[in-house]
């Protein structure tokens, strides 16, 4: 009987201790991650870099822009004493989410992510931030909701589209000074798949503010796809063989369009045909320079300032005083013509 009583007392003591452990100290109730408002989390290292582990998650590494971007970030991070890894989602949402979740088990402290689909990664990003990971969103603002990032670099996407249209408009005026209203046949190759992309496409459409322009078609891509772009060029040459200007949503799209247009050189007035791009990378620059000898059709680009070294600096909290209330750093929007990049 005495042994049974001792056993019961021991069980009661264990249960009491377990209950106390689950309730915690009533005078020091620390919120669990589930209780924390994600907007209130601050994982920003505020300038500390040494010994941290940075991961870079890109939607693809098949485009030169993303490769050059990762190369730059990796060199900066390595110089700052950080370990670095990079991953390509290859355009797959599920692949990117798996990679993001793996970063946590790898001990990643800081993440630069350009989402394949910003809606799809929201839950994962919140979970990573609650686990202490400093997250920087590149080019996606998530509706300016900083639940999903500690900092963000972005640009006014509509302004980029407008800059592209402005470049095309200036070229039209210089190339066709005596053109009548609605005589310059123009096409847009758009990518209306996300809110930011839709805003950029709105900017492209401001080309119609030039009275000389006749916007004869807009071909809507369903992805950043070179093959689909080139199929649209083939379709354009059947439907609108007299087209003279093509405005493109991305640099990769402009490059694909330019490549396919070479097939039709004998059908085009080469000196009076222009392709206009958004964004900036080395391959695009080389093709712009080639347009000075009419070996390419890409005449200019509208982009955010390509000083992408700022992305790493913002990620690591070196520009905290320049962030908006929603933790966004906005790049200025600029343009580059073929003459400018060639140093003429």
- CB atoms under 10 Å from CB of 320, counted, come to 14
**63 against 292, higher pLDDT:** 292
- Whether residue 264 is predicted with pLDDT greater than 50 in this model: the reply is yes
Helix (H) or strand (E) segment spanning residue 53: strand 53-58
C-alpha–C-alpha distance, residues 174 and 197, integer Å: 29
- Whether residue 341 is predicted with pLDDT greater than 50 in this model: the reply is yes
- Residue indicated by tokens 């300032």: 305
Distance of CA 196 to the CA centre of its chain: 9
Distance of CA 76 to the CA centre of its chain: 19
Q: Which domains does the chain have, with CATH numbers?
A: 41-154+308-332 (3.40.50.2300), 157-303 (3.40.50.2300)
- Whether residue 3 is predicted with pLDDT greater than 60 in this model: the reply is no
Cα torsion angle, 183, 174, 335, 300, sign: positive
Tell me the pLDDT tens digit for each residue of 69-98. 999 999 999 999 999 999 999 999 999 999
Tell me the pLDDT tens digit for each residue of 151-187. 999 888 999 999 999 999 999 999 999 999 999 999 9
- Whether residue 2 is predicted with pLDDT greater than 90 in this model: the reply is no
C-alpha–C-alpha distance, residues 282 and 300, integer Å: 13
Q: Return the pLDDT at 283.
A: 93
Tell me the pLDDT tens digit for each residue of 117-143. 999 999 999 999 999 999 999 989 999
pLDDT band at 33 (very low <50, low <70, confident <90, very high): low
Q: Return the pLDDT at 32.
A: 53
Enter the tokens of residue 45: 């290292």
Tell me the pLDDT tens digit for each residue of 183-225. 999 999 999 998 889 999 999 999 999 999 999 999 999 999 9
Closest C-alpha to 80, from 58, 47, 113 = 47
- Whether residue 326 is predicted with pLDDT greater than 90 in this model: the reply is yes
- Whether residue 344 is predicted with pLDDT greater than 80 in this model: the reply is no
The answer to whether 227 and 283 are in contact (CB under 8 A) is no
The answer to whether 200 and 161 are in contact (CB under 8 A) is yes
Strand stretches in the chain, DSSP E: 53-58, 83-88, 110-113, 134-138, 151-154, 184-190, 213-220, 245-248, 274-278, 298-304, 328-330, 333-337
pLDDT band at 5 (very low <50, low <70, confident <90, very high): very low
CB within 8 Å of 304: residues ≥ 6 apart: 155, 160, 331, 332, 333, 334
pTM summary value = 0.66
Q: Return the pLDDT at 65.
A: 84
Mean pLDDT of the chain: 90
């Amino acid at each position: 009987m005495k042994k049974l009583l001792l056993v019961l007392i021991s069980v009661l003591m264990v249960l009491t201790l377990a209950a106390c452990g689950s309730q915690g100290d009533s005078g020091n109730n620390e919120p669990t991650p589930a209780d924390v408002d994600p907007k209130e989390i601050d994982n920003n290292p505020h300038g500390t870099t040494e010994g941290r582990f940075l991961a870079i998650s890109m939607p693809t590494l098949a485009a030169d822009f993303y490769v050059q971007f990762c190369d730059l970030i990796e060199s900066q991070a390595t110089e700052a004493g950080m370990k670095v890894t990079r991953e390509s989602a290859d355009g797959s949402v599920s692949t990117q989410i798996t990679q993001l979740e793996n970063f946590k088990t790898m001990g990643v402290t800081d993440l630069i992510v350009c989402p394949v689909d910003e809606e799809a990664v929201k839950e994962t990003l919140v979970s990573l931030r609650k686990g202490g990971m400093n997250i920087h969103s590149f080019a996606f603002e998530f509706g300016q909701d900083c639940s999903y990032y500690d900092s963000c670099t972005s640009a006014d996407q509509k302004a980029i589209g407008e800059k592209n249209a402005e470049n095309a408009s200036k070229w039209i005026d210089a190339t066709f000074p005596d053109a009548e209203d609605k005589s310059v046949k123009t096409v847009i190759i758009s990518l209306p798949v996300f809110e930011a992309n839709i805003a950029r496409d709105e900017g492209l459409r401001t080309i119609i503010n030039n009275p000389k322009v006749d916007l004869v078609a807009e071909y809507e891509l369903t992805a950043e796809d070179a093959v689909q772009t080139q199929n649209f060029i083939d379709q354009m040459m059947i439907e609108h063989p007299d087209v003279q200007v093509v405005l493109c949503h991305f640099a990769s799209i402009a490059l694909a369009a330019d490549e396919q247009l070479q097939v039709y050189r004998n059908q085009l007035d080469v000196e009076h045909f222009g392709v206009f791009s958004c964004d900036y990378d080395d391959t695009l620059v080389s093709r712009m320079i080639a347009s000075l000898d009419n070996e390419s059709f890409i005449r200019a680009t509208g982009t955010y300032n390509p000083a992408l070294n700022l992305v790493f600096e913002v990620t690591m909290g070196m520009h905290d005083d320049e962030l908006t209330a929603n933790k966004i750093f906005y790049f200025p929007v600029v343009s580059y013509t073929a003459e400018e990049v060639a140093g003429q």
